[in-house]
Copies of this chain bind each other. A is one copy, B any other.
Amino acid sequence: MRVATDFRDVPDRWYNIIPDIGFDFPPPMGSSGYPMTHHDLSPIATAPIVDQELDRSERNPAIPKELREFYVEWRPTPLFRARRFEERLDTPARIFYKHEGGSPSGSYEFNTALAQAYYAAHAGEKGTRYLVSASGNGEWGASLAVACNYFGIKCRVYMVRSSYEQREYGRYLMELLGAEVVSSPSPNTRTGKKALSQDPESPGSLGMALSEAFEEATTRDEAKFAWGTLMNHVVLHQTLIGLEARDQLRHGGVRPDLCIAAVGGGSGFGGLAFPLYRDRKSGIRFIAVESAAAPTLTKGRYGWDYADWGGLAPMLRMYTLGHSFVPPDIRAGSMRYHGISPLISALYREKRIEARTYTQRQAFEAAVAFARAEGFVPSPESSYAIKAVLDEAVACKDRGERKNILFLLSTNTNLDVAVFKDFLEGAVEDKHAPMDKIDEAISSLPAQPSV
User: What residues of chain A have their CB less than 8 Å away from a CB belonging to chain B?
Assistant: 1-2, 5-6, 8, 72-74, 78, 80, 84, 101-106, 110, 146, 149-150, 168-169, 172-173, 175-178, 368, 371-377, 412-415, 417-418, 420-421, 424
Contacts of A373 in B (CB 8 A): 149
Q: Which of B1, B176, B375, B417 contacts A169 (CB 8 A)?
A: B417
Taking A105-B375, A177-B372 as known contacts, 8 extra A-B pairs with beta carbons closer than 8 A to each other, sorted by chain A number, are A5-B72, A169-B414, A173-B377, A175-B421, A176-B377, A176-B420, A176-B421, A415-B417
Contacts of A103 in B (CB 8 A): 375
Q: Which of B8, B104, B374 contacts A5 (CB 8 A)?
A: B8
Determine how close the nearest CB of chain B comes to the CB of A109; give it in whole angstroms: 12
CB within 8 Å for A417 and B172 given contacts A74-B78, A106-B412, A412-B106: yes
Q: Which of B80, B110, B177, B417 contacts A73 (CB 8 A)?
A: B80
Contacts of A80 in B (CB 8 A): 73
CB within 8 Å for A168 and B418 given contacts A74-B2, A104-B376: yes
Determine how close the nearest CB of chain B comes to the CB of A71; give it in whole angstroms: 11
Contacts of A84 in B (CB 8 A): 149-150
The chain B residue sitting closest to A413, CB to CB, is B414
The chain B residue sitting closest to A105, CB to CB, is B375
Determine how close the nearest CB of chain B comes to the CB of A100; give it in whole angstroms: 11
Most buried by B among A1, A175, A375: A375
A102 with B102: CB separation less than 8 A: yes
Q: Which of B104, B169, B374 contacts A104 (CB 8 A)?
A: B374
The chain B residue sitting closest to A374, CB to CB, is B104
The chain B residue sitting closest to A3, CB to CB, is B73
Contacts of A106 in B (CB 8 A): 412, 414
Contacts of A5 in B (CB 8 A): 8, 72
Q: Which of B176, B372, B374, B414 contacts A178 (CB 8 A)?
A: B372
17 residue pairs from A and B, CB less than 8 Å apart: A2-B74, A5-B72, A6-B8, A84-B149, A104-B374, A104-B375, A106-B414, A146-B375, A149-B373, A149-B375, A150-B375, A169-B414, A169-B417, A172-B420, A173-B414, A175-B421, A413-B414
Q: Complex formed: what's the CA distance from A103 to B102 in Å?
A: 9
CB within 8 Å for A371 and B177 given contacts A2-B72, A8-B5, A150-B84: yes
The chain B residue sitting closest to A150, CB to CB, is B84
The chain B residue sitting closest to A417, CB to CB, is B172
The chain B residue sitting closest to A420, CB to CB, is B176
Q: Complex formed: what's the CA distance from A176 to B375 in Å?
A: 10
Contacts of A374 in B (CB 8 A): 104
Determine how close the nearest CB of chain B comes to the CB of A163; give it in whole angstroms: 14
Contacts of A175 in B (CB 8 A): 421, 424
Q: Complex formed: what's the CA distance from A149 to B2 in Å?
A: 18
B176 with A424: CB separation less than 8 A: yes
Q: Complex formed: what's the CA distance from A106 to B378 in Å?
A: 12
Determine how close the nearest CB of chain B comes to the CB of A246; give it in whole angstroms: 20
Q: Complex formed: what's the CA distance from A78 to B6 in Å?
A: 14
Q: Complex formed: what's the CA distance from A420 to B368 in Å?
A: 28
Determine how close the nearest CB of chain B comes to the CB of A445; give it in whole angstroms: 39
B73 with A2: CB separation less than 8 A: yes
Q: Complex formed: what's the CA distance from A149 to B375 in Å?
A: 8
The chain B residue sitting closest to A148, CB to CB, is B372
B1 with A73: CB separation less than 8 A: yes
Contacts of A417 in B (CB 8 A): 169, 172-173, 176, 415
